Chain A
Amino acid sequence: MIENQVIPKDTGWSRRSLLRSFAALGSLGIFQALLPSYARAIGALTAPTMRASRDTLMDIAIREQSLEIAGGIGKAITLNNSVPGPIVELYEGQEAHLRVTNHLGEESSIHWHGLLLPFEMDGVPGVTFPGIAPGETYEVRFPVRQYGTYWYHSHSGLQEQSGVYGPLVIHPKAPEPFTYERDYVVMLSDWTFEDPHHVAERLKKMSDYYNYRQQTLGDFVADARKNGFVATLKDRLAWSRMRMMPTDIADVTGATYSYLMNGLHPAGNWTGIFQPGERVRLRFINAAAMSYFNVRIPGLAMRVVQADGQNIEPVEIDEFQIGVAETFDVIVEPQADMAYTLMAESMDRTGYTRGTLAPRLGMQAPVPELRELPMRSMVDMGMDMSSMDMGNMSDSMESTAMPAQMDMGSMDHSMHQMDMPMPDMAADQPMDHMMMASAGPVVANHGADHHGRGNNSVAEVQRDRLAEPGTGLENVSHRVLTYAQLRNLVPMRDKRPVSRTFELHLTGNMERYMWSFDGEKFSEVKDRIHFPYGERIRLILVNDTMMEHPIHLHGMFMELENGQGDHLPYKHTISVKPSERLSLLITVDEPGRWAFHCHLLYHMEMGMFRVVEVTP
């Protein structure tokens, strides 16, 4: 087998001959040749019992290469010749020594996502260091102060979209509060054969460029038949009056993306091996540039044990939504000698990726169909529903219709949790009654400041949406993880009262594809945000837009105020739902300059980025 074989760029001849030799190897040969070892069926992480704690010394090379990816040949930026990059394994209590060499013709960088380290090592060019110049090697050394599942990626331009990302696993000093026999990284990502800069330019010229699920005449006729002509017309007018689209779920869609699991597209079928009865740890990492995923394993319950690398009280679920840059560790216990599909549907349902858990290589289970297209609602728009004519929205939820899901077994657990009576499914009643009932409570109204011309709508009504499972999962008939369920395994360390409160609004002008905080793009702001060193602060985030934004603070964990008393969960990336208001507690104990941004890559590039400075 060819080890880490790559096809160098600009070599038409050798590429063709290499392709021929790959063809001779068969498809499995191709995939194995181009993937990092952990992505192969037999290349899981070392078993927990065999691990010896040690310092890590590792070299990472960033190169531009053509390689086989997503069923074609793509121009990618690789890490040690693969996409995703190699797994970086660190050991809690030991030293990390990582040497990153940039073989590109442009500046590059690597950021260690979720790691606590001196800010000079954080890898954000222009903020924490000058970037890695072409041909240079950047040496990163830091003591490893934590454990869990994390990842690393380029923080330069749009390189991350081209493949500069990889998993980072830190092994604990003491045994973890759960046990397992198998350990796999499941890294989800999105890939386009387009030049990412071209994608950015297209979004700037036409923000709905990649949305080929817009409402058409045919949809109108279908909805009018179902909900009545007047109701349908009112719904369409309500949206067009706002100059927005209910089908705007993702900016970049399956129209250009292939979705990958450990670097493989669905046909590649990444496979993790188990023996029936074994406990299998799956470390899900969303390394996509722009895509949220809904993840489930039909036939297997998942026990979530860590979120963003931090222990939580185990919670058993059947599906979870993972925002960009988040991680969830789950444990599954397949008992049967059969294959299971790891299904990761893109949130907008324009595509998916999948893999397989199987007792033997070459097995696979049925792949579920993509479910119905989710729709934005007036709740997402931050509209005050109480004063609105219900007819206005009567069919805005029609695509999240429940009946299709109802055959999947027992009635909806998530609904019982919401203390709501079962809706009468047989009646042809408008769905938004349900939507209103299942949407979180209104907690605040928007102030008079609408954030200027860089922002085109505000959440007039702001809701607590932490107990909601996420777009497209409102009405599924099985258990879906919510943020409200995340409960830290250990009590809060810092119980001091909050000394200061910061409030930031997530804003955007979709017409021009501008993204910002408080209506100001990074290029417009005058100052960094100063967090007071040594204090306990509250950060309130309000999403004035109609899309989810995964907000990431470098260098310090945020504790999500989700009603879990003094067991608030730690997050490095928090997905804020449309028109949601949430709050986070932060102990400001890491001096330095820390990036704070939306982790949707193109949103960040368009200006949804700030720097937080902590000065002792």
Chain B
Amino acid sequence: MNQITQKIIIIFGLLFWVSGVVAQNTAIDPRTGAPLDWGDPMPEMLNFMVLIDRLELGSAADEDTNTYDLQGWYGGDYHRMWIKAEGEGERGEELEDAEVQLLYGRMMAPFWDAQLGLRHEYAADTSRTSLVLGLQGVVPYDFELDTALFVSEDGNASIRAEFEYEWLLTQRLILQPRLELSAAFDDVPDDGVGSGLNSTELGLRLRYEFKREFAPYIGVSHSRTYGGTANFARAAGKETSSTALVLGIRAWF
């Protein structure tokens, strides 16, 4: 490359750089009327939260189980990344159900987040990915709702909804009823899932908040399968309903 070309490049480069610096220094933040490089007087706050909703040991007539259910978010007020993970299995055995979801959430209305992302199930004999369309928020009368539509890579669709309510017995002793419903649009015999409402889990947990962030609890959880799903369970020699005493920890940070 000849020298003149080099010089021209250098000169233009310098001009470009100088104009950038000048532009930056004179650029005005329209919200304040002040130069941008003075900084943002009230910058948007990014935050995160991790909630371990259930980390528990269950004890039923026929089996002892371990369960975890946690979720976390990172972001601002309108846009958040969500991670949700839950799993359950017989104590000492491999997990029977385990899943992790990665979602983008956008606030649609004051109490509501719409979520879109992927779920991966990876327990014992399943490994499957689904598209997730979720809605999470607080319904009038203060019920917390976390619900989602799943469409698996095989094209099977299902719905899951979780309701939680908090009833303050005292400022720190809190009774939490919890209902989880699962329904499928299709029969998936390989998974032992029949179409229609296939399972419910009704729980009642009593926790004591030593701090807002840390509360051990005891409770009962009653789960049931229905319809085709119950038939599959019976055929596999499993119970269709079970009641367990649960002991766990709820924590967040």
Contacts and interface: CB of A to CB of B under 8 A. Distances in A.
Interface string B115-146: 00000000000000000000000101110000
Contact of A240 (B41, B43, B142): B142
Interface string A171-205: 00000000000000000000000000000111011
A217 B169 contact: yes
Nearest to A510: B110
A548 B138 CA distance: 24
A225 interface: no
Interface stretch (A62-70, A391-399, A450-458): A450-458
B191 to A, nearest CB: 36
Contact of B45 (A595, A605, A609): A605
Interface residues on A, range: 35 or more
A125 B47 contact: no
Nearest to B109: A453
B141 A131 contact: no
A131 B168 contact: no
B33 A204 contact: no
Contact of A125 (B39, B142, B170, B171): B39
Contacts of A206: 212
B39 A456 contact: no
B198 to A, nearest CB: 31
B44 A127 contact: no
Nearest to B139: A243
A527 interface: yes
B30 A217 contact: no
A243 B38 contact: no
Nearest to B80: A512
A511 B167 CA distance: 18
B168 to A, nearest CB: 4
A243 B140 contact: yes
B60 interface: no
A217 B170 contact: yes
Contacts of A243: 111, 138, 140-142
B212 A209 contact: yes
B30 A607 contact: no
Contacts of A521: 42, 44, 77
B32 A204 contact: no
Contacts of B77: 454, 509, 512, 514, 521
A270 to B, nearest CB: 31
Contacts of A514: 77
B30 A604 contact: no
Nearest to B40: A126
Contacts of A611: 31-34, 41
B153 to A, nearest CB: 33
Nearest to A512: B77
B108 interface: yes
A43 B142 CA distance: 53
Contacts of A205: 47, 49, 252
A604 B42 contact: yes
A215 B168 contact: yes
B161 interface: no
Contacts of A523: 40, 42-44
A522 B44 CA distance: 8
A435 B109 CA distance: 32
B100 interface: no
A609 B167 contact: no
A124 interface: yes
Nearest to B73: A205
Nearest to B138: A243
Contacts of B40: 126, 523
B38 A131 contact: yes
Interface string B88-115: 0000000000000000000111110000
B171 A527 contact: no
Nearest 10 Cβ contacts at the A-B interface? A126-B41, A456-B110, A523-B44, A240-B142, A130-B38, A216-B168, A522-B42, A241-B140, A611-B32, A205-B49
Interface of B: 29-35, 37-45, 47, 49, 77-78, 107-111, 138, 140-142, 167-171, 212, 252
12 contacts: A124-B41, A127-B32, A129-B38, A130-B39, A209-B212, A214-B171, A453-B78, A453-B107, A456-B110, A528-B33, A607-B44, A613-B33
Given A455-B110, A521-B44, 16 more contacts: A126-B32, A127-B38, A131-B39, A200-B45, A212-B171, A213-B171, A216-B171, A217-B170, A241-B141, A453-B107, A456-B110, A523-B42, A523-B44, A526-B30, A595-B41, A611-B34
